[in-house]
């Protein structure tokens, strides 16, 4: 258990150092910024895995006998499980959101470039093989290049996915809802609004004045709900740097 705790601590320190280096590279516009973000994603995955192993080890360990029940809660055992604890609704730091958006753009560019290079290299290999214009050694060298480019593209995609998941987690923390729920609520509001607009148009020529007035009131309420849902989704996405 002690050795595992040390591994968790070392992994966390390495991850924090990588994050700091990546942020500095972003601020300086360094050429290796994308590579540093790949390293951040890799170290985060390692740290998360070690933390999960430590939690499992703690859960599997036999309880320590106590002479008397503890009167106060310890810092290691919160009264409310972490996943059920109320999340902070503090305002999002716009500077942090801007930095995340910048990192997302860097990673998207890196992925697109690597993926394009991979596809081009793969197409060149297929042409050379089909037309028999390259020797076996040359084809082998081309395959090695293809594998490296694919690994680079995969690393970029993994780092990009990790950053997006981080942003989604922050959305849950600040809104109490995940991004999927916010999108679903906005879509449902849009659909209900469209249906009510269609109903009002269909009834306009035949319904009574009272019916039309009721439908108009319902339409206004739906317009308000839709606007709120749109704003909530837009704000959440922009605050976490996910806006294009």
CA distance 167 to 97: 9
Q: How many CB atoms lie within 10 A of CB 19?
A: 16
* Biggest alpha carbon–alpha carbon distance for the chain: 84
CA distance 15 to 123: 37
Question: pLDDT digit string (tens) for 85-98?
Answer: 333 334 556 677 67
Distances (CA, A) of 185 to 85, 216, 225: 24, 22, 10
Tell me what the pLDDT averaged over the chain comes to: 76
Q: Which residues are within 8 A (CB) of 129 and not within 5 positions of it... i.e. 6 or more apart?
A: 139
Return the CATH fold of 177-239: Helix Hairpins (1.10.287)
Q: Which residues are within 8 A (CB) of 125 and not within 5 positions of it... i.e. 6 or more apart?
A: 139, 142, 143, 146
60-84 in b/e form (b: 16+ CB < 10 A) is eeeeeeeeeeeeeeeeeeeeeeeee
Element (H, E) at 166: helix 136-175
pLDDT band at 54 (very low <50, low <70, confident <90, very high): confident
- Tokens of residue 6, six digits: 């040390």
Question: pLDDT digit string (tens) for 156-210?
Answer: 888 888 877 777 777 677 666 777 777 888 888 888 888 888 888 888 888 888 8
CA distance 230 to 227: 5
3 state SS of 34: helix
pLDDT higher for 224 or 148?
148
Query: Over 80: is that where the pLDDT of 152 sits?
Result: yes
- Residue 141: predicted pLDDT: 93
CA distance 189 to 219: 11
Q: CA angle, corner 82, sides to 80 and 87, nearest 5?
A: 95
How much is the average pLDDT of 29-44?
Answer: 76
Question: pLDDT digit string (tens) for 222-240?
Answer: 888 888 877 777 766 665 5
Q: Which residues are within 8 A (CB) of 44 and not within 5 positions of it... i.e. 6 or more apart?
A: 15, 162
Question: DSSP character for 176?
Answer: S
**Residue ranges per domain, the chain?**
1-60, 94-176, 177-239
- Residue 178: predicted pLDDT: 72
pTM flag (> 0.85): no
Task: Find out whether 37 and 159 touch, Cβ atoms under 8 Å.
Answer: yes
């Amino acid at each position: 258990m002690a050795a595992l705790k040390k591994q968790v601590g070392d992994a966390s320190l390495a991850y924090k150092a990588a994050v700091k280096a990546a942020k500095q590279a972003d601020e300086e516009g360094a050429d290796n910024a994308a590579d540093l973000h790949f390293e951040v994603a890799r170290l985060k995955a390692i740290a998360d895995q070690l933390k999960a192993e430590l939690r499992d080890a703690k859960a599997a360990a036999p309880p320590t006998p106590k002479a008397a029940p503890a009167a106060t809660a310890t810092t290691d055992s919160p009264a409310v499980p972490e996943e059920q604890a109320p999340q902070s609704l503090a305002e999002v730091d716009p500077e942090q959101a801007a930095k995340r958006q910048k990192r997302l753009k860097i990673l998207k560019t890196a992925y697109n470039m690597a993926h394009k290079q991979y596809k081009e290299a793969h197409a060149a290999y297929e042409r050379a093989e089909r037309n028999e214009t390259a020797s076996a050694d040359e084809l082998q060298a081309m395959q090695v290049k293809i594998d490296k480019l694919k690994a680079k593209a995969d690393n970029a995609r993994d780092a990009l996915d990790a950053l997006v998941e981080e942003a989604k987690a922050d959305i849950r923390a600040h809104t109490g809802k995940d991004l999927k729920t916010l999108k679903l609520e906005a879509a449902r509001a849009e659909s209900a609004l469209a249906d009510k607009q269609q109903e009002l148009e269909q009834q306009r020529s035949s319904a009574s004045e009272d019916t039309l007035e009721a439908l108009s009131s319902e339409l206004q309420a739906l317009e308000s709900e839709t606007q709120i849902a749109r704003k909530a989704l837009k704000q959440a996405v922009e605050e976490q740097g996910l806006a294009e």
